[in-house]
Structure 1
Amino acid sequence: MVSRKYLSETALPELHGKVRKHIFEEIKDAKVISFTTDIWSSDVSPMSLLSLTAHWLDEGFEPHSAMLNATNFRGSHTSDAIAASLKEMFEKWQIPQSKVHVVLRDNASNMRKAMDNMGVRSVGCVAHTMQLVVNEGLLSQRAVSDAVACGRQIVGHFKRSPLAYSRLQDIQVQMNMQPKRLQQDVKTRWNSTYYLIESLIEQKRALSAYSADHELPTTPTANQWALLEKTMICLEPFEEFTRKVSSATASTADVVPSVTVLKRLLSMETEADSGIKTMKKSLLAAVDKRFSTVEDEPLYALSTLLDPRYKDRFFTSADSAKRGKDALAKELEEDLRSTTDGAAKALEPPGKALRVEAAAPALSSNKSSSFMREFDKIRGEREEEPGAASSSSSAVQLHGYFTEETIPTTDDPFKYWRVNRQRFPGLAASALKYLCAPCTSVESERLFSTVSTILDEKRNRLTAERAEMLAFLNKNLPVMLKAELEKLEKSA
């Protein structure tokens, strides 16, 4: 057998170099790339890592993503230090600033200032903003936080005591219930608090039976149980929102429609709202505050307009939709001037839209959920009426595109542009750029989850360079193997 030294000092660097070369060639061919970045500090080692992941669409509108770096980040986390480290990463990968479409970051001031210092466009992570919304609008309320704290003590009791859990499991079996563990939450992830409440409500009968014979650290009152149930109802659309924008296929185009649907659901009054109207109002106020400028952000506006599932149907402000269309028309005119045959193609009247095959739904939940029903409802009630088209080349494409019906929300927007790019060449070029950007920095956080399994208590002396190599291979080796398999299939 080969030695550990050979594996770590010879085999690992050789394989890393091969995969890096493959990723380098793919990135070199990309016209525009979006990035995510974040900083992570290890709990088992005095090490901080600065991540960089890349996301782009190829000429065939196939989405690609790759981990580029998880570099050791020493010293103070100042904006200048972050900017210098990111610039060094871009130089190593030979990525010019003209290729950088946008960088997704967290909402920390040092990150925001670092992007400004670099002169690149950046936006905050939508999931981080939603964390602030829920904490500010609901979990900061004293009665709710007390009820959640009570539930947290109960979950902690069963987490720490195997005997207590086995007793609870016996009660679940006696009640013909599926044995399930209670979910622990993390304060920095509001949706984990939602899952904690959901698991407590689901096991309410079993917990009541347990408390009759055994001691619990605390017992929720009837009012607290009712409050937890109402809180779960309030947070349900937020949980769907978070899952939608955090999925691997989500893009910046999903932000404006998701916020619009969320606002609509919070402003609706139903029979189930008895006792939670104040909660919904506080959450709606927090959403309005944190997402007040989302429709005026050019990145979100243009990507939403270029997504054939949404177009201009989800803008709550007519002025915002008009500004977005004007910005898109201006960009389209500039692109058409830079191409020799683009104007001629654009002057051709658009033909009939070609149908694309439906893709898997973005959410794994039931299609009949209120969140997804509201998506289809808004899409249907705002279909654009046909009007007179201008004779300008860009206006011909815009008129043809916006007067057509939106495709179903379960369809794949990339397939749409793959099929219809000959009809709307200018718009397709813009879609290639704007639809490649994710709306959260979740990919960087998933990368850090991988690093945390590599750098654990039993390998806490692993160097940052070695940890980065292992994470790089974990993320990118399957990408290279898949590409090589496709080449073999084509040659066969």
Structure 2
Amino acid sequence: MEKEGRSKVWDYYTKDPSGDVVCSICSSSVGQGSEKSKSKNTTNLWHHLKKKHKDDYEVAQSQGKKGTGTQMTLPQVVEQTAKWGPNDQKVRELDKLIMEMIATDILPYAVVEGVGFKRLVAKLEQRYSLKNEKYFCTKLMEETYQKVVNKVKQLLHTDNSGLLAFTTDCWSGAGEALMSLTAHFIDKNWQRIQLVLNVKTMFGSHTGEYISETFLNLLKEWDIDHERVHLVLRDNGANMVKGMRLAEMPGLSCTAHTLQLVINDGLSAQRAVGDMLAKFKRIATHFNHSTVAQQRLTSIQKEMGVPVHSIIQSVPTRWNSVLHMIERMIEQKRAITAYSSDHGHFLCPTPNEWDLAGKLVETLKPLEEVTLELSKAESSASCILPSIGVLKSVLQAEGPHTAGIQTARKAMIQSLEDRFINLNQTKEVVLACLLDPRYKHRPLDQETLSQAKSWLQEEMQSQTSEETKLATITEEEKDPKIRRVGTESIVDCLFENMLAASTSEEEQPDDVLEELERYMREAVIDRKKSCPLEWWRNNSSRFKRLAKFAQK
């Protein structure tokens, strides 16, 4: 217990047996002024701390200002040091925050058993007793999970009762296979919402029938009706395609995955390209499987002034890794050639192959740019048609950079046309493009635009019919004819019914086309700087009918 008025500076000093004052930080002896006991003060102690240990000086000053300078009572000491009970409000708050940290940062439960984490918690709040791993992964996780489930259900059913889009994927790893399901929609504030609903373990053979059954069960778990499924984005695997067909779900292939197949078609179509890539892959394998080879290459790189970079190995499932491998090979051309001359182990590419590699980079670079744009988190189906159109233009262009590589480019063009043959007949893709203010009708040919207008009319008519049906049901439930009493006659009732009907007829399917014409006459917004959802949030009142479809 401290003496009354004891200075905070003494937290940084001790007295040795001889009575000298010693700094606890640097072990220096510091005088206290006069040797007479009554004349001693802490001025020199503060001065030493300020001059030699500025950070500690500032801490001591701030603590000194906060202190009351009065002696603590025994109850106060007990209150500041006694452990909180397990049901204390502050304990529950800290437990919840630690659980949220584990969940949001995707940490293992074992983090609470770590020595470092325990030290941190003890230092921050000595009255809090940290729970063990079992407590967090059983009791608290179950409570947290149920709260999240309730919130997700609220988002799916209360805050949004409209259509939902889904992405689903299957993959294997670490001895097990998994299937994921993510829901996507745009809320009333034009914010994009993405909810990962489930990641389910799959057993047995992943047939189309099994995938269909699993997918439908996942929807059932979240009380999502079949009618609310607007679109399901999936990969091109035959089992996934069949699974969505059996489930009677409107499916769409992943564009990035399809582009992977298009580029593979092009790379395998020209023998010279295939031979060159095979040689590059052997070189990359040599350096990636031998530390001695890598060390020798590093030595050559430093000697020749070439960037000290590792050789990139291509990955079959990521086509742009082929592009990155070629780019790195070209960057390291001098070092690789020197290594081959000194140590052998592989055939160095010929001058023609180096030239071919450079032209292939010029072909693949724009394709990567489009692929990356389509793979962004904020990308949507509206980007597909414009992106495919740009890719065709890039591949159809001719010039010095295309000489010697035309076979591969033509194969890619043909593959694009074959694999995206029905894109202009896919209603969801066409309407998404048309209702994106960055693109509008610009990427659509006249026939596709005409079809899009017909789809909008059909959608409008269907929506109007549904709204009329709901209005009729509501009116019948109210039963105004029975409720009317007093001065209102049956004639008045009939007039009101007639006028109400004419009001509902004010919105005709043709009105949406008039609105569309006004929308298309306006300039498109900047593709990179502007957000289409923000545009709709600001303009939905001007295009009320179109906004309903854009929100899908």
TM-score of the pair, normalised by structure 1: 0.74
Contact residue 456 and residue 512 of structure 2 kept, 8 A = no
Letter of the 2:170 counterpart: I
Mapped contact 1:346–1:394 kept (Cα < 8 A): no
1:399 aligns with 2:522: no
Query: What pairs up with 1:390-429 in 2 under 5 angstroms?
Result: 392-410=510-528, 411-429=530-548
Counterparts in 2 of 1:156 and 1:417: CA distance versus 1, 3 Å: same
Kept after mapping to 1: 8 A contact 2:457/2:509: no
The 1:204–1:347 alpha-carbon spacing in structure 2 relative to 1, beyond 3 Å, is farther
1:246 aligns with 2:364: no
**Aligned equivalent of 2:417:** 288
| Candidates 298, 313, 329, aligned match of 1:169 | 298
Instruction: Give the Cα–Cα distance (whole angstroms) in 2 for the partners of residues 432 and 277 of structure 1.
Output: 42
Q: Which residue of 2 aligns with 1:320?
A: 448
Q: Which runs of 4+ in 1 moved over 6 A?
A: 343-348
Q: Is it true that 1:302 corresponds to 2:431 in the alignment?
A: yes
Check whether the contact 1:33–1:55 (CA below 8 A) recurs between aligned residues. yes
Shift of the alpha carbon at 1:302?
A: 0.9
* Residue in structure 1 matching 2:214, options 76, 81, 85: 85
Partner AA of 1:32 in structure 2: L
Q: Is the 8 A contact 2:314 2:321 kept in 1?
A: yes
Provide the residue aligned with 1:210 in structure 2.
339
Describe the SS at the equivalent of 2:180. strand
Tell me the matched-pair count: 388
Aligned match of 1:50: 179
Aligned match for 2:313, one of 184, 196, 212: 184
Kept in 2, the 8 Å contact 1:346–1:425? The answer is no
Distance 1:17 1:171 in 2: 59
Task: Decide which moves more: 331-340 or 285-294.
Answer: 331-340
Structure 1 position 95 matched with structure 2 position 95: no
Q: SS where residue 184 of structure 2 aligns? A: strand
Tell me, in whole angstroms, the C-alpha distance in 1 between the residues paired with 2:186 and 2:348.
Answer: 53
Deviations 1:51-101 (A, max 9, x none): 111111111111111211110111121222111111111111111122211
Q: Which amino acid aligns with 1:419?
A: N
Distance 2:257 2:227 in 1: 27
**Larger CA deviation: 51-60 vs 267-276:** 267-276
Distance of 1:112 and 1:412 partners within structure 2? 32
Aligned equivalent of 1:464: none
Report the alpha carbon displacement of residue 24 of structure 1 after superposing the two structures with TM: 2.4
Question: Is contact 1:37-1:51 (8 Å) kept?
Answer: yes
Cα distance, 1:188 vs structure 2: 2.3
Q: Is the 8 A contact 1:347 1:396 kept in 2?
A: no
State the Cα distance separating 1:339 from its structure 2 match.
4.7
Distance 1:5 1:215 in 2: 58
Whole-Å Cα distance in 1 between the matches of residues 539 and 372 of structure 2?
Answer: 29
What's the C-alpha RMSD, in Å, of the aligned pairs? Answer: 2.5
1:167-219, Cα deviation, whole Å (9 max, x unpaired): 32333334444322222211122222122112212221222233233334332
SS in 1 for 2:182: strand
Give the CA deviation at 1:233. Answer: 1.7
Deviation of 1:344 after TM superposition, in Å, equals 7.9
- State the secondary structure of the residue aligned to 1:228: helix
Q: Within 1, Cα distance between the matches of 2:293 and 2:237?
A: 41
Give, in angstroms, the shift of residue 346 of structure 1.
12
Report if aligned partners of 1:421, 1:428 keep a CA contact under 8 Å in 2. Answer: yes
Query: 1:116 & 1:400 partners in 2: Cα distance?
Result: 38
Give ranges in structure 1 of 5+ residues lacking alignment: 349-389, 434-492
TM-fit CA distance, 1:152? 1.1
CA–CA distance in structure 2, aligned partners of residues 198 and 286 of structure 1: 24
Return the letter of the residue paired with 2:244. Answer: M
Cα deviation, 1:9-36, whole Å, max 9, x if unaligned, reads: 3333333333333222222222221111
Q: CA deviation at 1:322?
A: 1.4
Check conservation: 1:197, 1:232, Cα contact below 8 A.
yes
Q: Distance in 1 between matches of 2:172 and 2:285?
A: 25
Structure 1 residue 337 displacement after superposition:
4.9
Q: Pairwise mapping of residues 139-158 of structure 1 onto structure 2 (< 5 A)?
A: 139-158=268-287
The 3-state SS of whatever aligns with 2:243 is helix
Q: 8 Å contact 1:333–1:394 — kept in the other structure?
A: no
TM-score scaled to structure 2, two decimals?
Answer: 0.66
Contact 2:269 2:408 survives alignment (8 Å): no
Could you give the per-residue CA deviations for residues 296-331 of structure 1, whole angstroms, max 9, x where no partner exists?
21111111111111111112x321221122212321
Aligned residue in 2 for 1:331: 459
- Cross-structure match for 2:233: 104
Of residues 298-307 and 266-275 in structure 1, the stretch that sits farther from structure 2 once superposed is: 266-275
Are the counterparts in 1 of residues 396 and 413 from structure 2 also a CA contact under 8 Å? Answer: yes
Distance in 2 separating the partners of 1:154 and 1:171: 16
Task: Using CA pairs under 8 Å that are at least 6 residues apart, name the structure with larger relative contact order, 1 or 2.
Answer: 1
**CA drift at 1:406:** 1.1
Partner Cα distance (1:128, 1:307) in 2: 23
In structure 2, the residue corresponding to 1:38 is in which secondary structure? strand
Find the residue that maps to 2:252 and give its secondary structure: strand
Contact 2:438–2:524 under 8 Å retained in 1: yes
Give the Cα–Cα distance (whole angstroms) in 2 for the partners of residues 210 and 77 of structure 1: 47
Identify unmatched segments of 5+ residues in structure 2: 1-129, 469-499
Aligned to 2:151: 22
Secondary structure, aligned partner of 2:551: helix
- Structure (1 or 2) with the larger CA radius of gyration: 2
The Cα offsets for residues 269-295 of structure 1, whole Å up to 9 and x where unpaired, read as 223222223332222122122122211
State percent identity of aligned pairs: 36
| Cα distance between partner residues in 2 of 1:156 and 1:392 | 63
* SS of residue in 1 equivalent to 2:231: strand
SS at match of 1:288: helix
**Residue number in structure 1 paired with 2:164:** 33
Give the distance between the partners of 2:263 and 2:438, measured in 1 at CA.
28
Alpha-carbon shift at residue 338 of structure 1 (Å):
4.3
Matched-pair contact (CA < 8 Å) for 1:56–1:65: yes
Deviation for aligned residue 1:391: 10
- Structure 2 vs 1, CA of residues 168 and 15 (structure 1 numbering), >3 Å: closer, same or farther? farther
Corresponding residue number in structure 2 for 1:472: none
Q: State the distance in 2 between where 1:74 and 1:397 align.
A: 51
